């Protein structure tokens, strides 16, 4: 970003109407709004829907001693509805943040619930919107130190309909999943690509 853009105040937004059109497992709001143009003036009135979801915390468990990562596999209805050929996706651990929780708290809790992993250290990879063109979902993504020697089996909360398979992968095999196109969700793509660049440093810092 240029120095000029960093100093420029945010462009304006005018909201003409805002209403909730659906509220269930997800919430959908409809907005009528306009925004300033970079070159001056205002856009036409835009009619847009936004899917609202609570903030997410996600973590890729990594064992620096064994050079392994932990991935989970579970059914994802969005992939199924989008005609993905195999809607049981390989992912890093993730969960919804509730009021009063920190992103780190949720990452540690979800790693235990979804993969049976104890996380002893966390490093923030980044924060990003998953699909900002139509969703407010914000993801806090971490890499977490763990001992993967006993990881495996089936996990999740039955009262939430979860049926999750956890498995440890040699780092080289997990990175090969990227090359083969077997990772098709953003948070896991980003986490594995980040780890490919940073595992040497983490191995030095986290090894016991």
Contact between 190 and 178 (Cβ < 8 Å): no
- Catalytic residue check, 123: no
Note whether 72 and 93 are within 8 A (CB): yes
Pairing of strands 56-63, 138-145: parallel
Nearby residues of 63 by Cβ (< 8 Å), 6 or more positions away:
69, 70, 145, 146, 147, 148, 149, 168
H-run or E-run covering 153: strand 153-155
Among the options 3, 159, 160, 204, which is catalytic? Answer: 160
* CA separation, residue 73 to residues 1, 11, 48, 90 (Å): 38, 42, 33, 5
Active site residues: 160
């Amino acid at each position: 970003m240029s120095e000029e853009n960093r100093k420029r105040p945010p462009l304006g937004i005018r909201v003409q109407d805002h209403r909730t059109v659906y509220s269930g497992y997800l919430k959908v709001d409809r907005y009528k709004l306009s925004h300033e143009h970079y070159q001056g003036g205002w856009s036409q009135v835009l009619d847009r829907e936004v899917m609202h979801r609570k903030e997410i915390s996600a973590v890729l468990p990594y064992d620096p001693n064994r050079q392994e990562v932990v991935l989970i596999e579970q059914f994802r209805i969005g992939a199924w509805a989008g005609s993905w050929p195999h809607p049981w996706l390989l992912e890093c651990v993730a969960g919804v943040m509730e009021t009063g929780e920190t992103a780190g708290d949720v990452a540690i809790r979800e790693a235990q619930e979804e993969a049976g992993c104890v996380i002893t250290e966390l490093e923030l990879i980044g924060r990003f919107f998953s699909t900002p063109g139509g969703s407010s979902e914000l993801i806090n993504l971490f890499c977490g130190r763990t001992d993967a020697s006993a990881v495996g089996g089936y996990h999740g909360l039955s009262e939430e309909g979860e049926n999750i398979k956890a498995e440890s992968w040699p780092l080289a095999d997990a990175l090969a999943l990227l090359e083969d196109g077997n990772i098709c969700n953003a948070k896991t793509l980003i986490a594995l690509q980040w780890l490919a660049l940073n595992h040497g440093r983490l191995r030095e810092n986290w090894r016991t």
